Amino acid sequence: MGAIVKLDLPARARAAHIVVVLHDFSTGGSERIAIRLANAWARSGRRVSLLCGVAQGPARRLVDPAVEVVAIWPQIERSLFSRVTLGGAVAACINRLQPDIIFSPGNFHLPVIGVMARLLGDRRPAIICKLSNALRRPDRAWPFQKMFDLITRRFTTSADAVVAMSSSLADEARNILTERTVECIYEPNIDADDYRHTCTTALSEPPLIVCAGRIVRQKNFALAIKAFAALDPKLDARLLILGEGSQRISLEILVDRLGLNDRVRFAGHVRDIRPVLARASLFLISSRYEGYPAVVVEALAAGVPVVTTPCSIALDEILTDPSYGRIAFATPQAMASAMQEILLLRHNDRICAADLLDRHRIDRVSTEYLALFDRTVEARKLAFDS
């Protein structure tokens, strides 16, 4: 990482200044992905500004020095109505920054963009909204889903385009956001050197099962622990849970109640999951719902098979080969059975998913975004000139 490289932009490169809106620098997946993209865009010669309500947080250290961080003052902490407040503050800053395009990194930020766009009106720059989660959830009752659809359409009314993370998620978004252009651009999870499998676990060692994510209700780590408890004790497996969150204490109590203290460990947040994956035998996902579970791609890049609940409609596009893992019913018994099947097939040869991983390379994905940005800004300019 270093200073921005000054490049002569192509004649058609209209998005010379990109603003990425972030509430704060939390460790959420959408924030980390947004920072990865911002870094790549800045290294390609674009001016990139991260416009945030709070300038501090664990993910701040991931920002490349080439990326400008613009903090709103007084800062706006997360609260019930903070996204509405942030939307107003962002609108005022946009008038000063004068970007060519605004990028919203996920569903959480849609209210911010909706309020901002309403305040700016026709003076707004081009807007691209990325969907970081599925718009339809199995645990959402029908009346609430209809209300959610209506609100989402309202918040994205001013978006020039919406980006979904897979073809199935794009189809879902088109069904809900009927008047919006929906593009499919995959998540940038893979660096060029991520194709190198660096497994350091010998077959004589106990199998290591890894879970990772915010320790909140959505991730349903209680199910992961119960499924682990249902494994055959002869496997002598270990469970490692990475992440922090509000449910950690209750999960530690559950581990103690199940008598698993010697085989389950909470390791907190880690900056880079790859060294852990290099020792893993299996990656376990117990989520109630996900958009495009990026960590599945990271596990496959490390050659680690995955067992997951049917938490995303995109999983069928990822786990396209039996060696990649299993999708199991969200019960302890079903997940334990799938894990045992995978663990009993352990061998020295790691799985290879090069074709799948290629579409997730940061260099490829960041270029696809820049092409979309340039097309969008150019089309908007032509529309105003005509």
Residue pLDDT, tens place only, 280-303: 999 999 999 998 898 899 999 999
Q: What band does 4 get if pLDDT is binned at 50, 70 and 90?
A: very low
Sequence-ordered list of residues with C-beta below 8 angstroms from that of 88, at least 6 positions apart, any chain: 115, 116, 119
What is the average per-residue pLDDT within 115-131?
A: 96
Residues facing 129 on adjacent strands: 104, 162
The mean pLDDT value of the chain amounts to 91
Same domain, 181 and 264: no
Please tell me the distance from the alpha carbon of residue 291 to that of residue 312, in angstroms, as a whole number. 6
Q: Please indicate, yes or no, whether residues 178 and 306 belong to a single structural domain of this protein.
A: no
Residue 382 has pLDDT above 50, yes or no: yes
Tell me if 2 is assigned to some domain: no
Q: pLDDT tens across 6-31, in order?
A: 444 554 558 999 999 999 998 778 89
Sheet holding 17-22, edge to edge: 68-71, 47-52, 17-22, 101-104, 126-130, 161-164, 182-184
Same domain flag for 60 and 136:
yes
Tokens of 105: 């990194």
Residue 325 and residue 201 share a domain: yes
Asked whether residue 272 falls in the same domain as residue 180, the answer is no
Q: What is the pLDDT of residue 356?
A: 86
pTM, two decimals, is: 0.86
Q: Say if residue 193's pLDDT is above 70.
A: no
Mean pLDDT score, 238-252:
96
User: Region 96-118: what's the mean pLDDT?
Assistant: 97
What is the C-alpha to C-alpha distance for residues 364 and 201, in angstroms, rounded to an integer?
Answer: 31
Please report whether residue 112 resides in a domain.
yes
Arithmetic mean of pLDDT, 43-56: 97
Range 196-221 average pLDDT: 80
Residues 140 and 226 in one domain: no
Residues 200, 337 within the same domain: yes
With respect to residue 276, please indicate whether it lies within any of the assigned structural domains: yes
Rounded CA separation 312/153 (Å): 21
Does a structural domain hold residue 36? yes
Are 217 and 242 in contact by the 8 Å Cβ rule? The answer is no
Q: How confident is the model at residue 186 (pLDDT cuts 50, 70, 90)?
A: very high
Residue 276: its H or E element = helix 274-277
Same-domain status, 32 and 124: yes
Is the residue at 8 inside a domain? no
The CATH number for 237's domain is: 3.40.50.2000
pLDDT score of 7? 45
One domain for residues 38 and 145: yes
User: Are 72 and 128 in a shared domain?
Assistant: yes
Q: Is the pLDDT of residue 43 over 50?
A: yes
pLDDT at 153 over 50: yes
Query: Which carries the bigger pLDDT value, residue 198 or residue 111?
Result: 111
Does pLDDT of 1 surpass 60? no
Residue 144 in any domain: the answer is yes
Of residues 357 and 3, which shows the higher confidence score?
Answer: 357
pLDDT confidence tier of residue 271, bands split at 50, 70 and 90: confident
pLDDT of residue 2: 40
Give the domain range for residue 127: 17-188+361-385
- Give CA–CA dist 262/58, Å, rounded: 30
Query: What pLDDT sits at residue 173?
Result: 96
Query: Are residues 74 and 215 part of one domain?
Result: no
Residues 294 and 331 in one domain: yes
Domain count, the chain: 2
Q: pLDDT value at position 204?
A: 61
Radius of gyration of the chain from Cα atoms? 22
Taking residues 234-255, what's their average pLDDT? 96
Alpha-carbon gap, residue 97 to 49, rounded angstroms: 9
Residue 76 predicted with pLDDT over 80: yes
Q: How confident is the model at residue 381 (pLDDT cuts 50, 70, 90)?
A: confident
Is 255 within a domain? yes
Task: Report yes or no on 6 lying in a domain.
Answer: no
Strand partners, 209: 239, 282
Phi, psi at 196, each rounded to 5°: -80, 115
The answer to whether the beta carbons of residues 87 and 112 sit under 8 Å apart is yes
Q: Using one digit for the tens of pLDDT, what is the confidence trace for 334-355?
A: 999 999 999 998 654 557 788 7
Give the rounded percent of residues in the chain with a pLDDT score beyond 70: 92
Length of the chain: 386
